[in-house]
Chains A and B, each alone.
Chain A
Amino acid sequence: MAASPDPSARPGDGGSASAEPILVVDDIYKQFETQDGVLVAVDHVSFDVKPGEFLSVIGPSGCGKSTLFNIMGGLLDGYGGRVSVAGETVRGPHASIGMIFQEESTFPWRSVIDNVAFPLEIAGMPKAERLEKARHFVDLVGLDGFERRYPSELSGGMRQRVSMARTLASEPKILLMDEPFAALDEQTRLLLGDKVLQIQQDLKQTTLLITHNLTEAVQLSDRILVMTYRPGKTKRIVAIDLPRPRTSEIVGSDAFGHYVAQIWNDLREEASRGMRDDESRRGGARRA
């Protein structure tokens, strides 16, 4: 109902509306062998992302989002289907993809600034230049003054921001983020979400955000992919037809609430299915 007739229509960005997709996920299937047998983590998921588009993937815990993320990043193989970037099949980590991981991933032996400068160092940028650039991204995530500190001296949320800055510093064409804001408080989450959006719009960065925060997804995205609980399938793709920038006025609007309600409906079904599933599994284990 709220889905726009043309899902590729992008409010706020006219240029790339008709462009070829830069990232294509085609019929991805991935299963894991576990002690309890075969577990289908991702079940024939397909979608594509246009240049400069902001797509969110939302779904209950354990539905296969991180698995999909790792497949798109070229870190996981042994799957069915195909991922391609600008027409080129992904067979390993791809130069134009940057990833922000769900888990804490700072290098504990490097200071904040050296963590952020890491991809620049790998790219062979001279020291002065890369420190300068890294400092810019440290400021961007609000960690100025902490450049010389080590991750062990930071809070969990601050560390997550360090790893975000590190990936942003590499200025990838396509940015994949796996619940990057999960460890943050609400205010930081909003501020940082704004920052990321700003960068994304400035650099015309193609962004894929994995989240289970509904408001966040609706506020940031052009489209939202809702996944089902195990096996992880596409339940629905919803285009968010709201103007940008998404000011507090828009976030408070009826249309916004409408989207949230619609997606929540889908999600609730899946989440409760997931919980029932877990309960019966526990019950089964007790009986066994």
Chain B
Amino acid sequence: MISRTLFRQQIVPIVFGIVCLAALIALIEFLIWIGVINRFIVPYPSEIIGSFKRIIVEEDVLDRFLLTAGEALAASLMLTVVGISLGVLLHRMHLLRLATETWIAAVASAPLVLMYPLFLVIYGRSALTIIMIGFVAALPPVILKTLEGLSGTRKVLIDVGRSFNLTPSQLYWKILFPAALPNIFVGVRLGMIFALINIVGVEFLINFGGLGQLVNELAERYDLPGTYAAICFVILVSVVFFIVTERAERWLRPV
């Protein structure tokens, strides 16, 4: 009985996902083959798959993967700590919130990555520049979602806490945080995606570091299958992060 529900709820979706992906790849392969998609813009998926070995052996893709993932991890940790703290601060200080919330939302849509020269001046041509841009660019969604979660807590739950004489910090830890957690995780996940995009983008722009630089180089060499294969590794970083946050959320809040 139990193994059957497990089968239904876990194995089937995974298999279905893989089948869909395979079907999509086959479809693209077919469309290129009959000439609907230009093979000089999109290489055959089979060629991309074929080039994995090459970029692993010749281009140090694993090291670059670890570097980009490490940068993303550093940015994400800073993001989580600073973003949530700022969200809490805005929640506590109503005036500050009224004064800045719209600005923060506006910053969220600004292409901060284009400010990379400024960061280069401050932090030099180093991984730190990349991390800082990823961090700053991804801060707004974490702040805004934390704020949304905290202020969306149902009033009656806060009243329950107050009626049990909770101290303000107990009220935060025992009620507001758990209530806001689903929202906070949405914010952190969004933030990680923002951070990764910006990190890879800056690596690409300043030609430094991990996967972004590799994508840049391969594209300049007009090695299209290699470029796409490298992009697959960027996607892999994001998949890994997604799985980690999902685990963390389920651990912190089982329902």
| A109 touching B178, Cβ below 8 Å | yes
Given contacts A104-B156, A122-B170, whether A109 and B179 have CB atoms under 8 Å apart is: yes
**Which of the residues B154, B157, B174, B253 comes within 8 Å of A122, measured between beta carbons?**
B174
Residues in A whose Cβ lies below 8 Å from that of B157? 105, 107
Residues in A whose Cβ lies below 8 Å from that of B163? 73, 75, 93, 97-99, 167
Is A103 in contact with chain B by the CB < 8 A criterion?
A: yes
Residues in B whose Cβ lies below 8 Å from that of A150? 254-255
- Determine the distance from Cα of A74 to Cα of B166 in the docked complex, in whole angstroms: 13
Interface size of A as a range:
20 to 34
- Determine the distance from Cα of A104 to Cα of B154 in the docked complex, in whole angstroms: 10
Chain A stretch 133-182: residues in CB contact (< 8 A) with chain B:
150, 152, 163, 166-167, 170
Is A229 in contact with chain B by the CB < 8 A criterion?
A: no
Number of A-B contacts (CB under 8 A): 56
Q: Would you give the shortest CB distance from B166 to chain A, in whole angstroms?
A: 6
Residues in B whose Cβ lies below 8 Å from that of A109? 178-179, 181, 253-255
Is B92 in contact with chain A by the CB < 8 A criterion?
A: no
Q: Would you give the shortest CB distance from B176 to chain A, in whole angstroms?
A: 11
- Determine the distance from Cα of A99 to Cα of B165 in the docked complex, in whole angstroms: 11
Is B159 in contact with chain A by the CB < 8 A criterion?
A: yes
Is B164 in contact with chain A by the CB < 8 A criterion?
A: yes
Is B248 in contact with chain A by the CB < 8 A criterion?
A: no
Given contacts A93-B165, A95-B165, A118-B164, whether A103 and B156 have CB atoms under 8 Å apart is: yes
Is B231 in contact with chain A by the CB < 8 A criterion?
A: no
- Determine the distance from Cα of A97 to Cα of B157 in the docked complex, in whole angstroms: 17
Q: Would you give the shortest CB distance from A108 to chain B, in whole angstroms?
A: 6
Is A101 in contact with chain B by the CB < 8 A criterion?
A: yes
Chain B stretch 155-174: residues in CB contact (< 8 A) with chain A:
156-157, 159-160, 162-166, 170, 174
Residues in B whose Cβ lies below 8 Å from that of A163? 160
Is A274 in contact with chain B by the CB < 8 A criterion?
A: no
| A75 touching B162, Cβ below 8 Å | yes
Residues in B whose Cβ lies below 8 Å from that of A152? 255
**Which of the residues B159, B165, B170, B178 comes within 8 Å of A107, measured between beta carbons?**
B178
Q: Would you give the shortest CB distance from B165 to chain A, in whole angstroms?
A: 5
- Determine the distance from Cα of A266 to Cα of B160 in the docked complex, in whole angstroms: 33
Q: Would you give the shortest CB distance from A134 to chain B, in whole angstroms?
A: 14
Q: Would you give the shortest CB distance from A106 to chain B, in whole angstroms?
A: 9
Tell me the nearest residue of chain B to A73, going by C-beta: B163
- Determine the distance from Cα of A109 to Cα of B164 in the docked complex, in whole angstroms: 18
Residues in A whose Cβ lies below 8 Å from that of B175? 107
Residues in A whose Cβ lies below 8 Å from that of B181? 109
Tell me the nearest residue of chain B to A121, going by C-beta: B174
Residues in B whose Cβ lies below 8 Å from that of A92? 162
| B156 touching A101, Cβ below 8 Å | yes
Residues in B whose Cβ lies below 8 Å from that of A98? 163
Is A231 in contact with chain B by the CB < 8 A criterion?
A: no
Chain A stretch 57-112: residues in CB contact (< 8 A) with chain B:
70, 73-75, 92-93, 95, 97-99, 101, 103-105, 107-110
Given contacts A73-B163, A93-B163, A118-B164, whether A105 and B170 have CB atoms under 8 Å apart is: no
Is A193 in contact with chain B by the CB < 8 A criterion?
A: no
Tell me the nearest residue of chain B to A92, going by C-beta: B162
Residues in B whose Cβ lies below 8 Å from that of A110? 178
| B255 touching A75, Cβ below 8 Å | no
- Determine the distance from Cα of A107 to Cα of B153 in the docked complex, in whole angstroms: 11
- Determine the distance from Cα of A99 to Cα of B159 in the docked complex, in whole angstroms: 9
List 4 additional A-B contacts (Cβ < 8 Å) besides A99-B163, A105-B156, A107-B160.
Answer: A103-B154, A152-B255, A166-B160, A167-B163
- Mark B residues whose CB is within 8 Å of A: 154, 156-157, 159-160, 162-166, 170, 174-175, 178-179, 181, 253-255
11 contacts between A and B (CB under 8 A): A104-B156, A105-B157, A107-B160, A109-B253, A109-B254, A109-B255, A118-B164, A118-B174, A119-B164, A122-B165, A166-B160
